[in-house]
Structure 1
Amino acid sequence: MTTPPFRLGYVPGVTPAKWAGIWRERHRTELELVPLAVGDAERAVREGEVAAALLRPPVDREMLSAIVLYEEACVVVTPIDHVIAALDRDEPVTSEDLADEVMLYPADDVLGRPPGQLAGYRPPTTAEAITLVAAGTGLLIVPQSLARLHHRRDLTYRFLDGGPAAPVALCWQTDRTTDEVEDLIGVVRGRTVNSSRGRPTPPSTKPVRPEQGARSSSAGRGSGGRSSSAGRRSARRGPNQRGNRRGRP
């Protein structure tokens, strides 16, 4: 019977390739990566479409368990000819700098209301909001990975000082914490195969080659035979036999 794959969902901006590689080195169960929209990720876990997902909190803690893996810095996406783009790469933008700016607030945003003046239109996705930034409609605050994902030559970004946290978490159904889920938790947390929380490694069952065993037995019999023969000869001769020969006149 074929074992079904372990389905791991992930939202845009999250790159599961490293963890997927470790999983495939350790497990025979196939890992299937399933891209999910931000607004659909929690539902996919809750309804069992995926066994677990890499997503951006918050999540429903009554049904789901989640562990935060890391937090991203937030950035302000702006056209390359905007005044903010004139700042040095290492010079962050503050909320005060955005007070008079028109800001886009997409429906799939997980960071909360941005500072500044909200645009009259709320785009349904971050991807559409990026297009509107390029059109000069407003600016956009996103996790850095999303700015990189939607990179365009006519756009740039600067880090937002004091911006909201942008965590990424592993999420799964609490009542479906299977062995595979536990193994995945170990992978994303950096546990080794032989860690106390991981699955035990089966002992080696490598058999002894027959010729090695036969050679060892033969060597033992030969050594034992020589010792026994020497003992019998010594017993027949007696302890004083050699001395008596030397004592003859």
Structure 2
Amino acid sequence: MLTLSFVTGTEPEKWFHRFNERTKDETLHTFSSDDPLESLLAAQDQLGLAKDQDIPSADLALVRLPDARLDELGDHVHIVQLYAEQPGIAFSKEHTLSLYETVSQEELAGEIINYRWLSGQKLDIAQIRTGLSVAAANVGVVLAPRPILKVLAKKEVVHRGFIGDSPESSIALVWYKDRDCAAIQDFVGIAKGRTANSSRQALPKRSARQKTLDKQKRKAQQSTPRFAKAKNSQIGRRKKKRR
């Protein structure tokens, strides 16, 4: 079974569906988390501290970058970046800013900032939730990656693109190199857009008996009159080319 933890603000259900369709012999277990990297670290927890803290473990994590902990892991993990996130802003649907498709820094003059993600800070999803609850009462705004605002905003709150000073964020798949396997490679390929016919898609291994049967089948096909006729035709064409 492959266990994957995905960060709040992502919507990877289409990848899950494709994986289940294409990889019949592998079970995929998924769960959402504000900190999926914590679950990945828990899988390598030799002291069992994560188990004591009731932290679910994961083989593969869909995380939000930047994350300073990945610098500490260094060469122990694979990191595959998938896409960048757009900066966003959220506020009450009754707010005057809701008239705009995008909001600039200049238009925030005098606004109450319930939460704003700044460069060098860890993104605090709990504070984003709190800030959105306040914004729902038409008080203040929240600035964060727009996909998070889209997922967490209630019906009283709308989100828009933001143009201004804002940290860059992106989404990536992370897993330990020593836990790499065909199932992980299959999922990574799907997330990167590979099709079901891609050569990178892992194929079920054939048993020794199946290999023998396939070999016998090929020999039987080669002994048929049709195969012999086709082979002689190819030889004839080669001789003509040589002339």
TM-score (norm. length: structure 2): 0.66
Please give the alpha-carbon distance, in whole angstroms, between the structure 1 residues aligned to 2:95 and 2:193. 42
Q: How does 1:73-222 map to 2 (within 5 A)?
A: 73-87=86-100, 89=101, 92-105=102-115, 124-162=126-164, 163-200=166-203, 205=214
Instruction: Give the CA RMSD over aligned residues.
Output: 3.2
Please give the alpha-carbon distance, in whole angstroms, between the structure 1 residues aligned to 2:118 and 2:183. 28
Larger Rg: 1
Please give the alpha-carbon distance, in whole angstroms, between the structure 2 residues aligned to 1:182 and 1:19. 13
| 1:46 equivalenced with 2:41 (yes/no) | yes
Following superposition, the deviation at residue 146 of structure 1 comes to: 2.3
Please give the alpha-carbon distance, in whole angstroms, between the structure 1 residues aligned to 2:118 and 2:191. 22
Higher-helix-fraction structure: 2
Name structure 2 gaps, 5 residues minimum: 44-56, 226-243
2:19 aligns to what? 23
| 1:66 equivalenced with 2:79 (yes/no) | yes
Please give the alpha-carbon distance, in whole angstroms, between the structure 1 residues aligned to 2:105 and 2:119. 14
After superposition, what is the alpha-carbon deviation per residue over 1:197-245, rounded to whole angstroms, capped at 9, x for unaligned? Answer: 343576893986xxx99xx89xxxxxxxxxxxxxxxxxxxxxxxxxxxx
Following superposition, the deviation at residue 170 of structure 1 comes to: 0.9
Q: State the AA in 1 paired with 2:39.
A: A
After superposition, what is the alpha-carbon deviation per residue over 1:140-168, rounded to whole angstroms, capped at 9, x for unaligned? Answer: 01333222223333322221124443311
Comparing 78-87 with 6-15, greater Cα deviation is found at 78-87
Comparing 189-198 with 23-32, greater Cα deviation is found at 189-198
Please give the alpha-carbon distance, in whole angstroms, between the structure 2 residues aligned to 1:23 and 1:130. 34
Name structure 1 gaps, 5 residues minimum: 114-121, 218-249
Please give the alpha-carbon distance, in whole angstroms, between the structure 2 residues aligned to 1:182 and 1:98. 44
Higher-strand-fraction structure: 2
Following superposition, the deviation at residue 104 of structure 1 comes to: 2.4
Q: State the AA in 2 paired with 1:73.
A: Q
Q: State the AA in 2 paired with 1:179.
A: A
| Residue number among 33, 41, 51 corresponding to 1:36 in the alignment | 33
2:50 aligns to what? none
Q: SS of the counterpart of 2:130?
A: helix
Please give the alpha-carbon distance, in whole angstroms, between the structure 1 residues aligned to 2:198 and 2:216. 27
Please give the alpha-carbon distance, in whole angstroms, between the structure 2 residues aligned to 1:124 and 1:185. 29
In percent, how many aligned pairs have the same letter?
24
1:12 aligns to what? 8
TM-score (norm. length: structure 1): 0.65
